[in-house]
Amino acid sequence: MMRLFKYIILLFLLSSCTINKYTRLLQESDRLPQYAKAEMERYRIQVDDEVRVRVLSMNKEVADIFNAGNSNSTGTAYRVYTDGTIDLPFISGIHIEGLTLSEAKAKIQERIKTFIIDAEVIVALSNNYFYVLGDAGRGGFMLYKEKITIYQALAMSGGIHKVGNKKNVYIMRKDAEGKTQVRHFDIRTITVLDSEFYYIQPNDIIYVPPAGERFFRLDSFAAIVGVISTSFSFFFLIYGITKM
């Protein structure tokens, strides 16, 4: 009986190691996918984005025309039309689709300087959010800085739940042509660091599916072993009392 009890304890320890293999992040293992390093992709403005433009100038009266009459505002929001352009007061047809925010700033500032020679322009994205679905929380979350990692994004949403599938994390992202690309990766491997999956972009949708049968196969097995070991302990306790 004691030998059987030892085998049960051994099975419990092995099951704990198995669970750790499926759940631990930043694993250095050749058995996990290996992802190549990649440069961070700068977000490029798309149709239907809202771009906020704020104009700074010593000539506040003229600058306020572009700032909706409020020089202390965060800027006026302009929606990108289907042709990829925005219209500012007295300036129409500024094509910014496909540009990064810094490229859009340079282009808008160049056009505004035809009215205000000392104009400085601040350009930001209004729809600067990413979204999380599945077993890692739900909701939209603001990108409070340009470089938000996948780990930070998931931490903001509450982290991957116990039943979340770390082996297949999905990111849905629109490319430069407006087509939605679906990328999936194993977040457990350390090679996610600095890979194409590492940084989040505005409008990204992160989806963590349930692990499915793995949760029941591992966690329930460990629970069963615990129940069996407890039962054996109870058996030995009763057996000892009856022998007294």
Token pair for residue 29?
């293992």
Does the global pTM surpass 0.85?
A: no
For the chain, the farthest-separated pair of C-alpha atoms sits apart, in whole angstroms, at 101
Strand residue runs (E) in 8-75 = 50-56
- Alpha carbon distance 13, 22 (integer Å): 15
pLDDT tens digit sequence for 119-166: 999 999 999 999 999 999 999 999 998 899 999 999 999 999 988 999
- Alpha carbon distance 242, 121 (integer Å): 87
Top-confidence residue, 38 or 22: 38
Amino acid at 125: L
Q: Which domains does the chain have, with CATH numbers?
A: 32-42+128-211 (3.10.560.10), 50-125 (3.30.1950.10)
pLDDT of residue 244: 59
pLDDT tens digit sequence for 28-62: 999 999 999 999 989 999 999 999 999 999 988 88
pLDDT of 217 strictly over 50: no
Question: What are the start-end ranges of the H helices in 25-122?
Answer: 60-66, 101-112
